[in-house]
């Protein structure tokens, strides 16, 4: 397993911002966490609203918590709200169960 470095995290953020520009999205904030849920890098585009760092971190943490992207969490928030409420409770409210959290894995399948 390769260690996620600051340089790699910054490349991920740069690629996300490039894709956002291509799609003409509103200003983004991107948080990159390591496999243990620790923040490696976060970047907020000019004009992104004030809670975006917390939201981006919560989406990333949610993806790590369930081992898949947060579209799955979003769907379960609708179909099984008790499960997502419980998950968020045991995480101390750290999970934001909406689409946008992406789980990244290396060639070996490790987060």
**By the 8 A CB rule, do 42 and 32 touch?**
yes
DSSP line for 60-109: HHHHHHHTS-HHHHHHHHHH-HHHHHHHHHHTTT----STT------TTS
Instruction: Find how far residue 21's CA is from the centre of its chain.
Output: 19
What is the pLDDT at residue 39? 97
Kindly state which CATH superfamily the domain 6-90 is placed in: Haem-degrading domain (3.30.450.150)
Q: Hey, where are the domains in the chain?
A: 6-90
Question: pLDDT per position in the chain (111 positions), as tens?
Answer: 568 999 999 999 999 999 999 999 999 999 999 999 999 999 999 999 999 999 999 999 999 999 999 999 999 999 999 999 999 999 999 999 999 999 998 888 888
What is the pLDDT at residue 108? 86
pTM of the model: 0.91
Cα–Cα distance for residue pair 32/41, rounded to 1 Å: 5
Cα–Cα distance for residue pair 91/6, rounded to 1 Å: 25
Which helix (H) or strand (E) is 6 found in, with range? helix 6-22
């Amino acid at each position: 397993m390769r260690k996620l470095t600051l340089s790699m995290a910054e490349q991920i953020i740069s690629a996300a911002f490039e894709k956002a520009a291509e799609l003409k999205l509103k200003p983004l904030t991107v948080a990159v966490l390591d496999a243990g849920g620790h923040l490696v890098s976060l970047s907020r585009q000019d004009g992104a609203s004030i809670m975006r760092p917390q939201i981006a971190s919560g989406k990333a943490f949610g993806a790590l918590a369930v081992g898949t992207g947060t579209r799955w969490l979003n769907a379960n928030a609708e179909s099984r709200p008790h499960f997502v409420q419980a998950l968020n409770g045991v995480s101390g409210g750290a999970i934001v169960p909406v689409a946008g959290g992406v789980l990244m894995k290396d060639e070996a399948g490790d987060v």
